[in-house]
């Protein structure tokens, strides 16, 4: 009878040790999972921040292209036309056209609110 009780206590002790080991393992896994979740959250936040920066950069480039590239193109066209051998009447018409075009381009730049407009 005493031997049976000792055996039962040994089995119970072994089972308790096994449960304790599992609890420690589960606790360790929980810490590892918590750390991994925090790391993944940081990566997702970093990715979102990078995406936001790229969107802002794209909007700035789009705004520049929409507003300021036409000015550069008009300057290049006007400079090239001035070098061609046209008579005075043709150049006068061109000068009037350029004045009108510069007025339009100038208004676009003055009305620039910094936001790109996708057409």
Q: What is the pLDDT of residue 2?
A: 55
Distances (CA, A) of 74 to 58, 68, 90: 24, 10, 17
Q: What is the pLDDT of residue 59?
A: 85
Report residue 92 as tokens. 């006068």
Q: Profile the chain (119 residues) by mean pLDDT over runs of 10 residues.
A: 68 78 67 80 86 87 85 87 83 85 84 67
Q: What is the 3-state secondary structure (H, E, C) of 60-80?
A: HHHHHHHHCHHHHHHHHHHHH
The SS3 call for residue 68 is coil
Q: What is the pLDDT of residue 113?
A: 76
pTM of the model as a whole: 0.50
C-alpha span between 27 and 6 (Å, rounded): 31
DSSP result, 80-95: HHHHS---HHHHHHHH
Q: What is the pLDDT of residue 7?
A: 77
């Amino acid at each position: 009878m005493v031997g049976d009780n000792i055996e039962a206590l040994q089995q119970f002790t072994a089972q308790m040790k096994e449960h304790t080991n599992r609890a420690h393992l589960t606790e360790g896994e929980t810490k590892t999972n918590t750390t991994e979740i925090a790391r993944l959250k940081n990566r997702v936040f970093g990715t979102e921040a990078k995406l936001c920066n790229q969107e802002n950069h794209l909007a700035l480039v789009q705004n520049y292209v929409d507003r300021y590239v036409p000015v550069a193109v008009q300057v290049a066209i006007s400079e090239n036309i001035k070098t061609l051998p046209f008579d005075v009447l043709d150049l006068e018409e061109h000068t009037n056209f350029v004045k009108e075009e510069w007025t339009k381009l100038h208004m676009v730049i003055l009305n620039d609110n910094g936001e790109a407009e996708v057409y």
